[in-house]
Amino acid sequence: MTYASPIDISSFTELEEKHDELSECVFALDIGGSLAKLAYQTTFRYKVCLPKQLPDPHSKRKMTVCGPFDFYDYREHEYEGHKLCFIKFETRFIEACLDFIRENIIPNVVNSHQKLVGRVTGGGAFKFLSTITTKLPGITIEREDEMESLVRGCAFLLRNIPDEVFTYDKRAEPAHIFLSSCMVDTYPFLLVNIGSGVSFLKVEAGGSYSRVGGTSLGGGTFWGIGALLSGDGPSFDTLLELADQGDHRKVDMLVRDIYGGAYESLGLAGDVIASSFGLAARRPDETRRPADLIKALLIAVSNNIGQLACLYARLNNVQRILFGGFFIRGHGLTMEVCSIKH
């Protein structure tokens, strides 16, 4: 079980406006092939001290203050806020996830007399439906279409939440350039959803979309082969840490390993990978660490995703590509390789 930073819903007007209509939803759960991602609301109370001359900041009364402030004469205001919390579990521990919901989320629902709903999506919404209903009696389970949820959620974030999208260039300063509300008028775009596998979705204005392709070589491939190569069943994050320590040049065959340098007539630099893992057979006696293998694997999977994204974008006349999904994780090497111009 891993936590992510919660979001104070009151900080975002668009989310705060959705709070009341979503109050019956106890949790939302996306159960994928590798991970189960859980989102839920919590309530917290906080106090603000302000001079008595100032009105309640949550009231609609306009401030009409005359004369100097008396900062020693103040009033304490107490408010209720809401946070949106996120946790992930490995899918193989789905029962632990459901136990967490039953023990930590459901008891904190304020109005126990209202209809309580859990919205579930992903393949696990079908595979584990019986387990979910058994573990969470009294909760109405509503299954949501996975791709529909993905596209609608993406559109909402891009339209309403600042700095939700960024470009990445390792050589730039800063490397991350955030684009505020950049997608409002720039449909269509290609949404690359990287989970255990990968789906490529062409998203049009108005929320219409179509799945234009996919590949089975995704996050599950990296995690699965990485576990076999390392031999100790590491977590996804442990594999990423190993990749940061590795040297893929001991494993991958580069252009210079074939030509002795760059292939200038084709515009291929000497350090371009010509064959992933190509040196493993050519130089079998060379000493290699597990970290070298994991880095080569991460580059191979990311490079394949990035290249397919470019090809699908060209085939479908799309100028902008968005990468999303847990596989990316804000990891520098992953983003660098995915964004290489193929």
Q: Determine which helix (DSSP H) or strand (DSSP E) holds 50, and give its type and residue range.
A: strand 35-51
DSSP string, 283-323: STTS---HHHHHHHHHHHHHHHHHHHHHHHHHHTT---EEE
Write down the domain spans for the chain. 2-144, 145-251+288-342
What pLDDT does residue 96 have?
97
Residue pair 69/3 in contact by the 8 Å Cβ criterion: no
Residue percentage of the chain with pLDDT more than 90: 59
What's the fold here for domain 2-144?
Answer: Nucleotidyltransferase; domain 5 (3.30.420)
pLDDT bracket for residue 289 (50, 70, 90): very high
pLDDT tens profile 119-142: 999 999 999 999 999 999 989 999
Residue 266 — φ and ψ, nearest 5°?
-105, 0
CA 75 from centroid of its chain's CA atoms:
42
2-144 against 145-251+288-342: fold identical:
yes
Multiple choice CATH, 145-251+288-342, 3.20.20.105, 3.40.50.720, 3.30.420.40, 3.40.50.300: 3.30.420.40
Instruction: Examine residue 107 and say whether the peptide bond preceding it is cis (omega within 30 degrees of 0).
Output: no
